[in-house]
């Protein structure tokens, strides 16, 4: 199956999602659906402009085999985004995309008003040296590996956060 992601054009806030071969498709399509759905409730001049930035050129297979195509290669994505997100993927804890990409990511996050990751996309940020002193949440199964890779962030695996919420007694 092939899905061509259409760039949503508008004058509002810009949101970019970085993808790579083996990305978890839900980490891309889920946030895109959320922002597109939000656009239904916003006046046109406030719509989110969505862009998918690819680590590779052309089609990239997601972890489930779905073929995704970015709007542009990361080396061409030089604008200042309002929000820059990096998607996760099952093999991401073991991936290293190299110094040129890490340098681009550091520059892109410096230009962005905000940046973050989806699921274990935190590994991409960690390898670029962007998590020092930050509070980090990742998939519970990847938390120990992220802590080994980048010991300075304050890591919060998602499962323990849910456990904390679930064990908090209700009042009233």
* Closest by CA position to 87, among listed 139, 12, 150: 139
Give the Cα-Cα-Cα angle 50, 56, 59 (nearest 5 degrees).
75
The domain ranges of the chain are: 2-167
E strands of the chain, at which residues? 2-4, 14-19, 49-54, 59-61, 67-69, 72-73, 83-86, 114-117, 135-138, 154-157
At 119, give phi and psi (nearest 5°). 55, -125
pLDDT of residue 146: 86
Give me the residues paired with residue 72 across strands.
Answer: 53
pTM over cut 0.75: yes
Of 162 and 63, the one with more pLDDT = 63
Average pLDDT value over all residues in the chain: 84
* Residue 153 banded pLDDT, cuts 50, 70, 90: low
5 pLDDT higher than 70: no
* Residue 155 banded pLDDT, cuts 50, 70, 90: low
Q: Which letter does DSSP use for residue 92 in this model?
A: G
Q: In CATH terms, is domain 2-167 a member of 3.40.50.880? A: yes
């Amino acid at each position: 199956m092939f899905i061509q992601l259409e760039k949503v054009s508008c004058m509002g806030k810009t949101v970019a999602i970085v993808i790579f071969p083996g990305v978890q498709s839900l980490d891309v399509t889920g946030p895109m659906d959320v922002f597109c759905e939000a656009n239904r409730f916003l006046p046109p001049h406030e719509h989110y402009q969505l862009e998918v930035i690819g680590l590779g050129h052309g089609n990239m297979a997601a972890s489930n085999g779905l073929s995704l195509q970015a709007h542009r290669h990361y080396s061409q994505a030089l604008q200042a985004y309002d929000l820059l997100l990096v998607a996760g993927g099952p093999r991401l804890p073991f991936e290293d995309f190299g110094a040129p990409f890490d340098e681009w990511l550091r520059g892109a996050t410096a230009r962005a008003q905000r940046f973050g990751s989806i699921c274990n996309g935190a590994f991409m940020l960690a390898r670029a040296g962007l998590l020092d002193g930050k509070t980090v949440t990742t998939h519970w199964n990847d938390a120990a590996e992220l802590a080994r890779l980048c010991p300075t962030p304050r890591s919060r695996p998602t499962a323990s956060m849910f456990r904390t919420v679930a064990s908090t007694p209700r009042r009233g």
